[in-house]
Amino acid sequence: MKNLIPGLLILLSQACFTQTNPSIQFTFLPDWGNTSLLQGKVQNTTLNDRGVAVYIFAEEAGGWWTKPFASNPVTPIQTDSTFTANIVTGGVDQFATKIIAFLIPLSFNPPILSGGDIPGELFSYPYAVSCRPHGDRTISWSGFDWIVKKSVGSSLMPLGPGPNIFNDNDSMVWVDNQGRLHLRIAKNGNDWHCSELICKTSQGYNRYRFEIGSRVDLLDPNIIVGIFTWDDCSQLAQPPVKYFREIDFEFSRWGDPNNDNSQYVIQPWNISCNIDRFNMNLTGIDHSVHLFDWRAESLTFQSEWGSNSHYWKFPNSTAIPAPANENVRINLHLLNGAPPSNYENAELILNSFILNTGKQEEITEDIKIFPNPAEQGCLIEILSDRVKDTEIDITDLQGKLVREIYLGKIHTGSTRISWDGMNEKGKSVQPGLYFICIRDKFQIKYFKIIKI
């Protein structure tokens, strides 16, 4: 018996050190516009001295509100560790876009909210949070399901961006019999209505390709096309993410007809290295193609129209947003909600949205690198069945540019490009592992090269 006691003490000790932290999660979240009850579950906590404090955020109601009531701010936890909360108890509650629930001790009096922000003290407790798009109409386009944004209320409330009134009517957003997506800005009575789509799924690190089938270079200066990623819940994460994981294509002259009409942006836009502006002229062209390739170590953009193209690599790899709950959004809206300067309706057409994981390849049949390892430099041979614009860079293990070695056309057949082992300053690089990054029209390939 004596021999069993130390073993028992060890087991008790291990149990103490392997306890899991208390947690809370949603098991059923009502759809936007629905009046069903919120359901959830808690784990790894005592039940007789804990409760749940639930809050909802409705833009139409000016911020966060205690649920179910200010007079009843704590939802009880049942003996099976579940809870059920009524989050639609008045006003425009069913149109809330953010829902959060904190697992609190019953000795704590949760703050009563009737608009405004959530106090930071609440985030010291375990919590669950979910965000839902502002709309209830779903359309399918280009292989994905999309929510159509919708302003609500007896007098339609403007929403961001803008603010603008967003209309989900099928005369404002539709897919034609050729599979093309149409978004409109149109005058409705005394108001101008805009349109936006929100993809129902999150795609994270990926290559995102959009083909636009209309003249975005001819849009009124007060009109903005936005194609971007956005995470409504990012500021409620721990730690919070300030700028909503936003990566943008934007086409607008921002109120000035003399401005360039296109830009790539990593928010915040007011940091100079986070924005790249350029001009597209689509005369004689009915479409343009735009791509961003989002990786942990790099973020690149490219646009092509006719025989023209524009390329940009985000220079601050440490500021690349990390994925979480973001999704792709496409909108056609008005600058600060002002009407078009020409007072005419407008339309945006997108031919396709293509998602491609674009896995980094180290071995292909059409690209050879030799010698490898290399004492000094190496030769890169590209075998191609077509002419294509290509950029070749050398980067280090951190993704920092060592040297741009080629920017030009690859021709049919064999094209050879050499790297002499030097960096941008003309000095021989240190021995070690490097990457050769080869970009053509809409793909990026990486190859290891060892300098000895």
Q: pLDDT tens digit string along 137-161?
A: 999 999 999 999 999 987 899 999 9
The pTM (predicted TM-score) of the whole model is 0.76
Burial class (CB in 10 A: 0-12, 13-18, 19+), 79: exposed
Q: pLDDT tens digit string along 413-433?
A: 788 899 999 999 999 999 998
pLDDT value of position 3: 44
Q: pLDDT tens digit string along 264-300?
A: 999 999 999 999 999 999 999 888 999 999 999 999 9
**At residue 231, does pLDDT exceed 50?**
yes
Mean pLDDT score, 126-141? 97
Closest CA to 380 of 416, 333, 327: 416
Is the CB of residue 42 less than 8 Å from the CB of residue 58?
A: no
pLDDT value of position 7: 36
Is-same-fold flag (20-131; 367-451)? yes
Fold adopted by 137-356: Jelly Rolls (2.60.120)
**At residue 97, does pLDDT exceed 90?**
yes
Closest CA to 191 of 172, 176, 173, 174: 172
Mean pLDDT score, 295-321? 93
Beta bridge partners of 290: 210, 303
CATH 2.60.40.4070 correct for 367-451? yes
Mean pLDDT score, 380-391? 82
Q: pLDDT tens digit string along 31-84?
A: 999 999 999 999 999 999 999 999 999 999 999 999 999 999 999 999 999 999
Spatial separation of the C-alpha atoms in residues 380 and 447, rounded to whole Å: 10
**At residue 259, does pLDDT exceed 60?**
yes
Residue-range domain boundaries for the chain: 20-131, 137-356, 367-451
The whole-chain average pLDDT of the chain stands at 90
Mean pLDDT score, 105-115? 97
The amino acid at 89? T
pLDDT value of position 13: 36
pLDDT band at 361 (very low <50, low <70, confident <90, very high): very low
CATH architecture of 20-131: Sandwich (2.60)
Spatial separation of the C-alpha atoms in residues 299 and 277, rounded to whole Å: 16
pLDDT value of position 307: 84
Spatial separation of the C-alpha atoms in residues 327 and 325, rounded to whole Å: 7
**At residue 108, does pLDDT exceed 90?**
yes
Mean pLDDT score, 5-15? 35
pLDDT value of position 388: 77
Q: pLDDT tens digit string along 15-25?
A: 334 457 999 99
Question: What does the radius of gyration of the chain's CA atoms come to, in whole angstroms?
Answer: 27
Q: pLDDT tens digit string along 190-222?
A: 999 999 999 999 999 999 999 999 999 999 999
pLDDT band at 441 (very low <50, low <70, confident <90, very high): low
pLDDT band at 362 (very low <50, low <70, confident <90, very high): very low
**At residue 186, does pLDDT exceed 80?**
yes
pLDDT value of position 286: 84
Mean pLDDT score, 351-379? 75
